[in-house]
Amino acid sequence: MPIDSTERTRPALSALLTDVVCVIVFCAIGRRSHAEGLNLAGVAETAWPFLSGTAVGWLLSRGWRKPAAVVPTGVTVWVSTVLVGMVVRKLTSAGVAPSFIVVASISTLLLLVGWRVAVGFMTRR
């Protein structure tokens, strides 16, 4: 029986949405920890460079093919999110202190790759 296009695209859209939520959560937590406020405009301002990187990672890895795969999708999305996010922040005169790069790298690794590891573990059981 043929699979309709909705059944093929649903996992990719769910994974992409999960990545977007992870990046927004990362940015919201960062803003909260620095007492910058949790309004929509502020979170969007902080998130857009990283979300741009997330989009680049999805394109580079062709994330729609294996959306829940740790490799290549998860790792590529994570690295792109951090690299593009930091470059865009630097170009827009936002902070890119070394400590922030480390925290952002670890946090987004746990979020963007972590959910994929958890899904892989659960589906193997």
**Total structural domains in the chain?**
1
Residue 64: give the domain boundaries.
Answer: 5-124
How far apart are the C-alpha atoms of 106 and 24, rounded to whole Å? 15
pLDDT tens-digit readout, 53-63: 999 999 999 99
Q: What pLDDT, on the 0 to 100 scale, is given for residue 27?
A: 96
DSSP 23-62: HHHHHHHHHHHTT----HHHHHHHHHHHHHHHHHHHHHHT
pLDDT top residue among 1 and 114: 114
Q: What pLDDT, on the 0 to 100 scale, is given for residue 80?
A: 98
Report the predicted TM-score, pTM, of the whole model to 2 decimal places: 0.91
